[in-house]
């Protein structure tokens, strides 16, 4: 006989997480979801591997920060382009050649770093490391296609995607730091293996792939330009029905709400990237560099717990309120690193504030459902990620210069300033974000 306490606990767990299990039991859903997470390993591992490997072989944080900044800028440029191409032509048609470019670039970069080639050669190779298909956006696009406007289950699916993303960071950060300290070749080899395995799982699952604009236009007997114009008109009509429309169709996905979110993500990326390189410098000064992966993993583990609970619950609090609360906790928490005097203090702060990290991203993903037409969802998500990458490049480059001049405390000073600036930028777009979440969900349009 099962003890009543255990039975009650099991029932609570089923009520809380049963929605996740229901989603994963959908045909083919588990395969593409897990495949996208495995294929996303370059995101947590490559930046840290470049930073640790370059600092080890060249002894220069400015160079390490600049290289990660260049890769982030390249991601910002290629992300929206790849997202737009995916929406136009299909996921597997775009992803396969992109993966091949990334593998060649990774092999070239690690060989050059270990050979201590001139820095200009590294700057030439690093941009090609941005040839990463938008796995997260493509996975979320599959969920919205499968659930076809079911708002509650779609929000839960986006929460589940956030859970999987955090699993990737929990695994990727300690692996990157551990393997990169041993060998840059080993770290990049493991990452490449993950890309191949994840891509095979994701891309060979064709039944859940949403139709591209080319396919939909062909089915409607239109050109792609005609089809996109029709969908822009439908989106404009939907906004007009709420009294917030402009009366004419837009040929672009850009509107005040999307711009506000992208600016916010720029600020978020800037101070988080600066925090990462500053923590590595701080740990190195304290002779604790081998524990940096553990510190980042604690942040990701806490974020994972937040994602599990947050995504499982059907919230009645307005989306914009949840968005700003979680963002403020993350900004102010990381901004307080300036006052930490030991690596374990930073780890504790990460454990406390991490519960709001994944919910912040989940809220951002849900905002995209309100702000972009369904046939351009991948592109909208890619722009959000691109602005985060641009902010990350700026943050890591600035922090690298201050660390070389003033040590880790100089880096943490940059983090605090950028965190406050990020929060200010987020509230500048308050009206647009609040109004954007009050409009109907554009992904409910039948295409």
C-alpha torsion 143→301→25→313, nearest 10? -70
Higher per-residue confidence, 57 vs 442 = 57
Between CA 170 and CA 283 the distance in angstroms is 19
Confidence of residue 447 (pLDDT cuts 50, 70, 90): very low
DSSP for residue 229: H
Whether 164 has a pLDDT exceeding 60, the answer reads: yes
Whether 446 has a pLDDT exceeding 50, the answer reads: no
Non-local CB neighbours of 203 within 8 Å, separated by 6+ positions: 35, 91, 92, 95, 96
Whether 107 has a pLDDT exceeding 80, the answer reads: yes
pLDDT > 90: what percent of the chain?
2
Distance between first and last Cα of the chain:
52
Confidence of residue 249 (pLDDT cuts 50, 70, 90): very low
Considering only CA atoms, which of 417, 359, 311, 366 is closest in space to residue 140?
A: 366
Confidence of residue 62 (pLDDT cuts 50, 70, 90): confident
Residue 230's pLDDT is 73
Between CA 233 and CA 230 the distance in angstroms is 5
Let me know: does 320 contact 434? Beta carbons within 8 Å. yes
Between CA 271 and CA 392 the distance in angstroms is 7
Residue 223's pLDDT is 74
Confidence of residue 44 (pLDDT cuts 50, 70, 90): low
Domains (range + CATH), the chain: 28-444 (1.20.1250.20)
Mean pLDDT on 313-332: 85
Confidence of residue 320 (pLDDT cuts 50, 70, 90): confident
Mean pLDDT on 161-172: 71
The top-scoring range by mean pLDDT among 59-63, 91-95, 210-214 is 91-95
Whether 19 has a pLDDT exceeding 60, the answer reads: yes
Task: Say how many C-beta atoms besides its own lie within 10 A of residue 241's C-beta.
Answer: 11
With tokens 């409910």, the residue in question is 444
Whether 343 has a pLDDT exceeding 80, the answer reads: yes
pTM: 0.65
Higher per-residue confidence, 378 vs 112 = 112
Between CA 384 and CA 363 the distance in angstroms is 12
Residue 251's pLDDT is 47
27 burial via Cβ count (<10 Å: 0-12, 13-18, 19+): exposed
Between CA 276 and CA 296 the distance in angstroms is 8
Confidence of residue 367 (pLDDT cuts 50, 70, 90): confident
Let me know: does 99 contact 133? Beta carbons within 8 Å. yes
Task: Say how many C-beta atoms besides its own lie within 10 A of residue 309's C-beta.
Answer: 15
Non-local CB neighbours of 298 within 8 Å, separated by 6+ positions: 347, 350, 351, 354
Confidence of residue 445 (pLDDT cuts 50, 70, 90): very low
Handedness of CA 95, 97, 98, 99 (dihedral sign): positive
Angle, CA 207 vertex, CA 203 and CA 209 arms, to 5° = 60
What are the DSSP E strand ranges found in 218-339? none
Considering only CA atoms, which of 173, 367, 340 is closest in space to residue 263?
A: 367
Phi, psi dihedrals of residue 168, rounded to the nearest 5°: -60, -45
Considering only CA atoms, which of 317, 417, 422, 390 is closest in space to residue 359?
A: 317
- pLDDT tens per residue across span 124-144: 999 998 888 888 778 888 888
pLDDT > 70: what percent of the chain?
81
Let me know: does 355 contact 302? Beta carbons within 8 Å. yes
Residue 367: helix, strand or coil by DSSP?
helix
Whether 256 has a pLDDT exceeding 50, the answer reads: yes
- pLDDT tens per residue across span 64-86: 778 877 887 787 788 778 888 88
- What does the radius of gyration of the chain's CA atoms come to, in whole angstroms? 22
Task: Write out the two tokens for 277.
Answer: 């390189």
Higher per-residue confidence, 326 vs 230 = 326
Considering only CA atoms, which of 266, 363, 276, 368 is closest in space to residue 320?
A: 363
């Amino acid at each position: 006989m099962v003890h009543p306490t255990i039975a009650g606990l099991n029932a609570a767990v089923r009520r809380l997480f049963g929605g996740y299990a229901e989603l994963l039991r959908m045909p083919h859903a588990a395969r593409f979801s897990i495949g996208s997470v495995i294929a996303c390993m370059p995101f947590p591992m490559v930046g840290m591997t470049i930073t640790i490997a370059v600092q080890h072989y060249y002894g220069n944080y400015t160079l390490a920060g600049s290289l990660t900044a260049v890769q982030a800028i390249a991601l910002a440029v290629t992300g929206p382009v790849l997202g737009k191409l995916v929406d136009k032509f299909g996921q597997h048609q775009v992803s396969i050649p992109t993966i091949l470019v990334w593998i060649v670039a990774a092999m070239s970069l690690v060989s050059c770093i270990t050979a201590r080639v001139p820095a200009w050669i590294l700057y030439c190779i690093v941009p090609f490391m941005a040839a990463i298909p938008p796995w997260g956006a493509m996975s979320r696009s599959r969920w919205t296609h499968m659930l076809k406007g079911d708002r509650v289950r779609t929000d839960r699916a986006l929460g589940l995607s956030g859970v999987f993303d955090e699993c990737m960071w929990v695994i990727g950060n300690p692996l990157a730091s551990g393997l990169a300290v041993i060998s840059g070749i080993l770290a990049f080899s493991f990452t490449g293996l993950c890309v191949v395995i994840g891509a095979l799982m994701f891309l060979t699952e064709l039944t859940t792939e949403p139709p591209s604009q080319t396919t939909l236009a062909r089915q409607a007997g239109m050109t792609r330009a005609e089809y996109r114009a029709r969908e822009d008109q439908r989106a404009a009509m939907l906004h007009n029905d709420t009294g917030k429309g402009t009366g004419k169709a837009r040929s672009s996905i850009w509107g005040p709400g999307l711009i506000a979110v992208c600016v916010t993500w720029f600020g978020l990326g800037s101070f988080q990237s600066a925090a990462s390189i500053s923590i590595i410098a701080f740990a190195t000064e304290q002779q604790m560099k081998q524990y940096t992966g553990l510190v980042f993993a604690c942040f990701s583990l806490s974020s994972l717990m937040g994602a599990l609970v947050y995504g499982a619950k059907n919230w009645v609090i307005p989306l914009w309120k949840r968005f700003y609360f979680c963002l403020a906790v993350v900004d102010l928490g990381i901004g307080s690193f300036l006052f930490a005097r030991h690596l374990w203090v930073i780890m504790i702060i990460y454990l406390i504030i991490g519960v709001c990290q994944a919910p912040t991203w989940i809220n951002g993903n849900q905002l995209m459902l309100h702000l972009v037409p369904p046939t351009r969802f991948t592109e909208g998500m890619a722009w959000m990620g691109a602005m985060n990458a641009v902010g990350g490049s700026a943050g890591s480059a600035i922090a690298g210069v201050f660390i070389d001049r003033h040590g880790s405390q100089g880096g943490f000073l940059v983090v605090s300033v950028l965190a406050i600036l990020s929060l200010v930028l987020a509230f500048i777009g308050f009206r647009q974000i609040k109004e954007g979440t009050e409009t109907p969900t554009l992904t409910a349009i039948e295409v």
